[in-house]
Homo-oligomer: A and B are copies of this chain.
């Protein structure tokens, strides 16, 4: 295992220590627990949005806590859920009178703990709503059973903007739902990643082998085979995405080309060019393009393509609203 770390068992907390050192003006923790990650810029009367999930996906999940996005994040160990108590403690800190939206990825452990936190908050008369990201088309035929991956960015963006516009809890939930309904992702991995505490990857890929449809925790994909070209990967991904969500010629979409960790920005832009060429060939207009690392799997090589169909003018406002977090700034 080649990583720049100290003790593997301190991976998550050492990372958090560095983040708080680097950005003390923007984020803080509560209850003396580094994993109870909260904005340092609470806004009174605003719906609070809380996310959470395992470590190993930066900037997901905590990287989106900041101005006009999220208010708190429960941080689990690598690929593990945060506890219900941590989510509860964050909630008590960031809630400011308008209720809380829980917005996180569709994983069993997370659902259990967020639901438990919700029940604990109910006893304190704090209102919550929950919605999960489930954008990974290839993870399941049933949309409700799909995993949440990089496309959750659009849910964060839209819900965060609606909350910043001082929408009600149900309006903020509806904004997240609108982004969810219009977003699809397909991803593929070229190498595995290593969980620090294990010291090895939990699967292998051959010298010229890739996994199409693989999840960000290494969940098996729909095929393993020789590495295809960027254009071929773009075509196969777009076929899956547009087969699952129809986008007509003349309609507008946002494109998110996400690196899984070890893939160079050069490659991400080569892929971007191919994806946008395909959209152009179909007469689909690109409203805005996002390229970079939005949801990773530590040092996994690979990428994902997310398409978010622009539903209406309101959604454009949400997408375009400036945001500022330690990990992501948009003007």
**A272 in contact with B5 (CB, 8 Å):** no
**B190 in contact with A17 (CB, 8 Å):** no
Chain B residues with CB under 8 Å of A23's CB are: 289
| A3 CB-CB contact with B under 8 Å | yes
**A6 in contact with B270 (CB, 8 Å):** yes
Chain B residues with CB under 8 Å of A16's CB are: 269
Max count, chain B CB within 10 A of own CB: residue among A22, A191, A207, A286: A22
**B56 in contact with A4 (CB, 8 Å):** no
Complex-state Cα separation, A2 to B329, whole angstroms: 31
Complex-state Cα separation, A330 to B327, whole angstroms: 11
Max count, chain B CB within 10 A of own CB: residue among A2, A296, A330: A2
The binding surface of chain A is classed by DSSP as mixed
Partner of A4 from B21, B55, B230, B329 at Cβ < 8 Å: B230
A41-81, CB < 8 A from B: 55-56, 58-59, 63
**A273 in contact with B18 (CB, 8 Å):** yes
Complex-state Cα separation, A233 to B291, whole angstroms: 31
Partner of A14 from B5, B6, B56, B230 at Cβ < 8 Å: B230
Complex-state Cα separation, A191 to B233, whole angstroms: 26
**B272 in contact with A22 (CB, 8 Å):** yes
Residue ID in chain B nearest A297 by CB atoms = B264
- How would residues 301 to 328 of chain A score, 1 for a CB under 8 Å from any chain B CB and 0 otherwise? 1110000000000000000001010010
Max count, chain B CB within 10 A of own CB: residue among A4, A5, A272, A301: A4
- With contacts A17-B273, A329-B329 taken as known, whether A266 is within 8 angstroms of B55 at the C-beta atoms is yes
Complex-state Cα separation, A286 to B286, whole angstroms: 41
Nearest-CB distance from A85 to chain B (Å)? 24
Cross-chain pairs A/B with CB under 8 angstroms, 23 sampled: A2-B227, A2-B301, A3-B190, A3-B267, A4-B270, A5-B267, A6-B229, A11-B270, A14-B269, A15-B267, A18-B291, A21-B273, A22-B276, A59-B265, A63-B265, A261-B262, A262-B262, A262-B299, A264-B296, A266-B298, A322-B331, A324-B331, A329-B330
The list of the 7 closest CB pairs from A to B, nearest first, reads A18-B273, A18-B269, A262-B262, A58-B265, A18-B272, A22-B289, A17-B273
- Identify the A interface with B (CB < 8 A): 2-6, 11, 14-19, 21-23, 55-56, 58-59, 63, 190-191, 207-208, 210, 227, 229-231, 233, 255, 261-274, 276-277, 286, 289, 291, 293, 296, 298-299, 301-303, 322, 324, 327, 329-331
20 more contacts with CB within 8 A, not counting A18-B272, A56-B264, are: A2-B191, A3-B263, A4-B230, A5-B229, A6-B229, A6-B231, A14-B230, A15-B266, A16-B269, A18-B270, A21-B273, A21-B276, A21-B289, A22-B255, A22-B276, A58-B266, A59-B265, A63-B265, A261-B262, A262-B262
